[in-house]
Amino acid sequence: MGLKWNRRPTADSAVMAAQLGDAEARNQLLREFTPFILKVASRATGRYLRPGVDEEISVALMAFNEAIDGFRTDRGGFLSFAETVVRRRLVDYFRRSKPSSQELTWTELEVEDAEGEVRNPAMDRVAEVAWAIAEDQENRRQEIKEFEEVLDRHGISFKELAEGCPKHRDARERAIQIARLVAQNEKMRESVAERHELPLKALAEIPGVRRKTVERHRRYIMAVVLVLIHDFPYLKEYVLNQEAGAGP
């Protein structure tokens, strides 16, 4: 289910929505920043690139899409991060495209097995990796769909979640810590499951937890709690990477 933006979202909020599975937000990012992508790619190649002709444009678009998935808010602005990813992928592309006297053709890697059939171990490995990636992507899509259903039962939409995400690292870290407290406490978990809301009174009694912080980031905290108490391994990994000190 795509987000219906009532106003133009910031790049970071649109990226978060895309990471959470919103295809409309991802397509909007690709459309809106195509001129930016072409500009970065042209600078990296040192020449004007022609859409539909130059392969570098496809490489740059795929790199931008990769940047959407790999972006974390503690890395600074999204566009700076995306530019770095696009440039790196173009460099990789240039290196692969350079002719080499040591390159082998696919047929040179073919072998004959015990039954006399010709096989290509390298191609078999490529197929295995491609299948694993496709399966992983399908699992992620299914998990996002299930998470969206859970959010809906608790009165939260992806749009509200994206707009309510803490913009600063320290605020995000505090929100996740509060969510952990809820997820680790049986009574608080029951309150979330039965009443579909955070136990504000119980949280306010915990030293160091400010009621204003909980109320300001209520939807985000609730969403993290739901990720932690349900079987959402991909989203759980994403949340943990949002904590201060986590890797990319």
The pLDDT tens digits for 10-65 are: 677 788 888 888 888 888 888 889 889 989 988 888 888 887 778 888 889 999 99
CATH number of the CATH domain containing 64 = 1.10.1740
| Residue 118 host element (H or E) | strand 118-119
Give domain status of residue 159, yes or no: yes
pTM for this entry:
0.50
Q: pLDDT at position 64, please?
A: 92
Q: Per the structure block, which two tokens stand in for 113? A: 């097995």
Number of domains the chain contains: 2
Structural domain containing residue 19: 8-98
Give domain status of residue 32, yes or no: yes
DSSP characters for 123-148?
Answer: HHHHHHHHHHHHHHHHHHHHHHHHHH
Q: Cα separation of 66 and 44, whole Å?
A: 18
